[in-house]
Structures are given as C-alpha cells and as structure tokens.
Chains A and B, each alone.
Chain A
Amino acid sequence: KAGVTQTPRYLIKTRGQQVTLSCSPISGHRSVSWYQQTPGQGLQFLFEYFSETQRNKGNFPGRFSGRQFSNSRSEMNVSTLELGDSALYLCASSLTTGSSYNEQFFGPGTRLTVL
C-alpha cells in the first residue's frame, strides 16, 4: 500500500507570494490533517479535512487555507507569504476523523523557504 505523498518536497518563494502544497493520503483514508513545524516548536496543527469538509482548525491566520477533493487528496494554500512561514509542512492521513483513536500516517513533508 502506498504511503502518504506530498508535493513538492522543497519550495522557495519570496515574501508576498502565495503557495499551494499537495497531499495524497493512503488509499481508503478519508481524513487529512496538516501541521507546521518550525525550529524549536512542536508540530502545530493547522487544520483537518474529512470527506471534503474542514472539521477542525488550529490557531493560524486566515492566510492559511485548505481544501479536500472527492478522492481525499488535499491542498493547502498560504497567501501573502511572510518570512515566518518558512517551515516544514507535514500532512497526515487517517481512516477516520481526529476524534477517533486511529493513528495518523505522515507524509515526508514539504520544506518551504520564504526569502
């Protein structure tokens, strides 16, 4: 069974630009969660999508948005990039939603650098 895939793996952007990251979950998984990791910080929860609906959101500004398609693939968009958005962005998929006991399976991440 193929794992969680994320594209692109590396990205360099400049301040003010926007970026779209993609995540393909494990086949059959309907929940996709996104996390941001910056140096010295743990994984910070961005949002979770389940069956094309955002069911939970972390404490991030509105510049961070996402969506999920009918095939469970998810995209995350960051508009008007700031230097502080430089981070590793991880997505994780699970069979059901966050309020379940299912483990999450993580992708390799997208390393975003904002110059």
Chain B
Amino acid sequence: ILNVEQSPQSLHVQEGDSTNFTCSFPSSNFYALHWYRWETAKSPEALFVMTLNGDEKKKGRISATLNTKEGYSYLYIKGSQPEDSATYLCASNTDKLIFGTGTRLQVFP
C-alpha cells in the first residue's frame, strides 16, 4: 500500500446501529495513526492518535484499533446517533500527516 486508503467512501445507517470503517496505510516509516472527525462547516477534530501495534483507544461510543504490522486501523461507533454524522478521516504520520479521503457517515433518526 502506497497511500492511505479508507473504506467505505460513504455510509448511511439508522440511529442505534453500530458501524465501523477501515483505514489502510503503508506500514513502513510509521510513527502514528491519527483519526479525525470533520463535521460540515467545522474544523477537523482529533479523535485518537495511536502509535503501538495492538493499540486500542476509546472515547465514549467511539473506539479504534491499530495493526501496524499489516497496516490497518478500524474505527467503531456503537449505537450511532445523528450527531455522529460527519466525515471520518484517518492520517498516517510518517514525519508528515498523509490523509485518506475519508468515510462520510450519515446517521438517520
């Protein structure tokens, strides 16, 4: 993998559903993996910064895991709420942040 790739590109779920997204990144020269949430008309907001293989981080209903050996991270949202609607970006830090194109999540009431 040469670039940071995210899937799916977009996701529509019902309120209460749990969902997850994938971020794939080059595993060489790896420093850290960042997750950001970007709501419309706002600035990207950091969710997690993960560095170690096997790292798991949690913030409320949102959690993330990291596998640096195979170069992927998962972001999970449990019991999605309409306020979770946003674009979720991951970025691989290899001395500079290389962003994926994001997963656009829409949660319908």
A residues with CB within 8 A of B:
3-4, 33, 35, 40-45, 48, 56, 58, 90, 92, 98-109
Known contacts A40-B101, A41-B101, A42-B89; A98/B43 CB under 8 A: no
Enumerate 17 A-B pairs (CB-CB under 8 Å) in ascending A order. Answer: A3-B43, A33-B96, A35-B99, A42-B99, A42-B102, A43-B44, A45-B99, A48-B96, A56-B95, A58-B96, A90-B43, A98-B93, A98-B95, A101-B51, A105-B46, A106-B36, A106-B43
Assess whether B49 is in contact with A101, with CB atoms less than 8 Å apart: yes
B62 interface residue, CB < 8 Å from A? no
Assess whether B44 is in contact with A42, with CB atoms less than 8 Å apart: no
Total count of chain B residues near the partner, CB < 8 A: 23
Q: Kindly report which residue of chain B lies nearest to residue A107, judged by CB atoms.
A: B43
For residue B53, give the distance in angstroms from its CB to the closest CB of chain A. 14
A4 to B32, CA, bound (A): 22
Assess whether B96 is in contact with A43, with CB atoms less than 8 Å apart: no
Known contacts A43-B89, A101-B31, A101-B49; A109/B97 CB under 8 A: no
A42 to B49, CA, bound (A): 18
Known contacts A4-B43, A106-B44, A107-B43; A98/B89 CB under 8 A: no
- 1/0 per residue B85-109: CB within 8 Å of A? 0000101010111111110000000
B13 interface residue, CB < 8 Å from A? no
From A4, A40, A45, A105, give the contact of B97 (CB < 8 A): A45
- Which residues of A lie under 8 Å from residue B93 when comparing CB positions? 98-99, 101
Nearest first, the 5 A-B pairs at minimum CB distance are A103-B46, A42-B101, A106-B43, A43-B99, A42-B99
A52 to B99, CA, bound (A): 24
For residue A107, give the distance in angstroms from its CB to the closest CB of chain B. 6
B4 interface residue, CB < 8 Å from A? yes
From A58, A90, A98, A99, give the contact of B44 (CB < 8 A): A90
A8 to B21, CA, bound (A): 34
| Residues 60-90 (chain B) with a chain A CB within 8 angstroms | 89
- Which residues of B lie under 8 Å from residue A102 when comparing CB positions? 49
